[in-house]
Homo-oligomer: A and B are copies of this chain.
Amino acid sequence: MAPHGDGSDVAEEAIVADAERRPISTIVIIIAMQTEALPLVNKFQLLEDSESLFPKGVPWVRYHGFYKDLHINIIWPGKDPKLGVDSVGTIPASLVTYASIQALQPDLIINAGTAGGFKAKGACIGDVFLVSDAAFHDRRIPIPVFDLYGVGLRQALSTPNLLNELNLKVGKLSTGDSLDMSPQDEASITTNDATVKDMEGAAVAYVADLLKVPVIFLKAVTDIVDGEKPTAEEFMQNLAAVTAALDLAVTQVVDFISGKYLPEL
- Whether A89 and B150, one on each chain, are in contact in the complex, defined by CB atoms closer than 8 angstroms, is yes
Which of A6, A87, A94, A95 neighbours the largest number of chain B CB atoms within 10 Å of its CB? A95
Contact present for A210 and B177 (CB under 8 Å): no
- Taken residue by residue from 211 to 228, chain A's Cβ proximity to chain B (1 for < 8 Å, 0 otherwise) reads as 110000000000000000
Instruction: Write the A166-193 contact mask toward B (1 if CB under 8 angstroms, else 0).
Output: 0000000000111110111000000000
B residues in contact with A55, CB < 8 Å? 102, 211
Q: Is A129 an interface residue (CB 8 A)?
A: no
A99 within 8 A of B: yes
Q: Is A53 an interface residue (CB 8 A)?
A: no
CB of A202 to closest CB in B, whole Å: 9
> How many copies, total?
2
A222: min CB distance to chain B, Å: 13
Taking a contact as CB atoms under 8 Å apart, the answer to whether A140 and B57 are in contact is no
User: Is A85 within 8 A of B11, CB to CB?
Assistant: no
**Beta-carbon nearest neighbor of A235 in chain B:** B143
Set B57, B59, B145, B179: member contacting A142, Cβ < 8 A: B179
Is A160 located at the chain interface by the 8 A CB criterion?
A: no
Q: Are B58 and A211 in contact (CB under 8 A)?
A: yes
Q: Is the C-beta of A63 less than 8 angstroms from some C-beta in chain B?
A: no
Inter-chain contacts of A146 with B (CB < 8 A): 85, 88, 179
Lowest 6 A-B CB distances belong to which pairs? A140-B178, A139-B177, A182-B184, A141-B179, A91-B94, A83-B149
